[in-house]
Amino acid sequence: MTTTSLVRPVPLPHGRYRTSGVLRSEWTKLRSVRSTTWSLLAMVVISIGIGILATSTEAARWSQATLTDRLTFDPVSLSLTGLLFAQLAIGVLGVLVISAEYGTGSIRATFSAVPNRPLVLAAKALVFGVVALVVSEVVSFAAFFIGQAILTGSAPHATLSQPGVLRAVIGSGLYLTILGLFALGIGAILRHTAGAISVFVAILLVAPLILQALPEFIRDRVAKFLPANIGVTIISTSPNPEQAQAHPFPAWVGLGVLAAYALAALLIGGWLMLRRDA
**Cβ pair 85, 232 in contact under 8 A:** no
**Which amino acid appears at position 251 of this protein?**
A
Q: List the chain residues with pLDDT less than 50.
A: 1-13
What's the pLDDT tens digit per position in 253-267? 999 999 999 999 999
- Find, among 93, 97, 95, the residue nearest to 43 by Cα: 93
pLDDT at residue number 206? 93
pLDDT digits (tens, 9 = 90+) for 194-218: 999 999 999 999 999 998 888 888 8
Going from N- to C-terminal start, the domains of the chain cover: 19-275
- Measured between alpha carbons, how far is residue 232 from residues 72, 165, 238, 242 in Å? 15, 14, 11, 11
* pTM of the full structure: 0.89
